[in-house]
């Protein structure tokens, strides 16, 4: 952790020699039953394995087809709701959603539909991003969901990262884990534990994102 504060550049003279840029990675996810949330924790673990990087975990509220608001203003438990300022503050973004009919969940899509001001101001442009998902069935659309989550990030001008095949688990996995992003096969009742390969690939992706963000900031410590 930076000795000069949680995020960003701190010009306080008292920090002196130890003054450096802290690289904050936003790990933004939606999770109804907890599987995608577990992947988010692993991505954050990978981010924070890089000295000088910290992960900011955030979520989005559920949406409803009725007019009334469906969620409390503050989540009862877990990560706080994301604010547009989190997009401005971050040096990189990991975006996760459960697969819903081969696509990202409506709650996450709804959030991105409200980011016009961020887009107009280019506040994500040039920052690295990656994606992750969880499914009920093994061939139920992990890759299409990962690709669908890349679309808003591309419109925002982000630089997308996948997982390279130099990660041995990518070739060996018989559960989740793809070159397009991290994934977990949770099973029809969500009871499947995260496998060693899924875990390794999620951590590797978070680490790769953090290292890339740090290099783009010009402050690599690794």
Q: Are 132 and 153 in contact (CB under 8 A)?
A: no
Regarding 109 and contact with ligand FMN (CB under 6 A), the answer is no
Binder of ligand FMN out of 32, 45, 48, 216 (CB under 6 A):
32
In the block, tokens 């992960």 appear at: 55
Binding of residue 33 to ligand FMN (CB under 6 A) = yes
40 or 213, CB closer to ligand FMN?
A: 40
Figure out which of the listed residues 23, 24, 31, 200 binds ligand FMN, where binding follows CB under 6 A: 31
Q: How far is the CB of 33 from ligand FMN (least distance, A)?
A: 3
> Residue 88, Cβ neighbours under 10 Å: how many?
13
CA dist 75 and 57 (Å) reads 13
Binding mask 138-157 for ligand FMN (x = CB under 6 A): --xx----------------
Q: 96: burial class by Cβ within 10 Å (0-12, 13-18, 19+)?
A: buried
The residue (of 37 and 213) whose beta carbon lies closer to ligand FMN is 37
Binding-residue pattern over the window 174 to 203 for ligand FMN, x denoting contact by CB under 6 A: ------------x---x-------------
Q: Please identify which residue in the block is written with the tokens 């390794």.
A: 200
- Closer of 30 and 112 to ligand FMN (Cβ): 30
User: Stretches 82-90, 97-105, 108-116, 194-202: which one binds ligand FMN (CB under 6 A)?
Assistant: 97-105
Give the Cβ contact number of residue 149 at 10 Å. Answer: 25
- 45 CA to centre of own chain: 11
Burial class of residue 146, CB neighbours in 10 A (0-12, 13-18, 19+): buried
Binding site for ligand FMN (CB under 6 A): 31-37, 98-102, 134-137, 140-141, 186, 190
């Amino acid at each position: 952790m930076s000795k000069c504060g949680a995020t960003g550049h701190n010009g306080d003279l008292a920090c002196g020699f130890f003054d450096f840029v802290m690289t904050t990675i936003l790990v933004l996810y939606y999770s109804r039953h907890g599987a995608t949330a577990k992947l988010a924790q692993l991505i954050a673990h990978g981010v924070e394995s890089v000295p000088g990087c910290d992960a900011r975990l955030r979520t989005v509220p559920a949406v409803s087809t009725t007019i009334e608001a469906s969620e409390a203003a503050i989540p009862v438990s877990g990560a706080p709701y994301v604010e547009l300022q989190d997009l401005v503050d971050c040096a990189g973004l990991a975006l996760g959603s459960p697969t819903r009919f081969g696509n990202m969940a409506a709650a996450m899509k709804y959030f991105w539909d409200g980011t016009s001001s961020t887009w107009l101001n280019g506040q994500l442009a040039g920052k690295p991003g990656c994606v992750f998902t969880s499914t009920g069935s093994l061939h139920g659309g992990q890759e299409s969901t990962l690709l669908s989550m890349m679309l808003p990030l591309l419109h925002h001008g982000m630089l997308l990262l996948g997982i390279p095949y130099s990660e041995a688990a990518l070739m060996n996995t018989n559960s989740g884990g793809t070159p397009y992003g991290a994934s977990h096969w949770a099973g029809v009742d969500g009871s499947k534990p995260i496998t060693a390969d899924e875990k390794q690939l999620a951590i590797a992706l978070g680490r790769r994102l953090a290292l890339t963000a740090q290099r783009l900031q010009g402050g690599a410590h690794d």
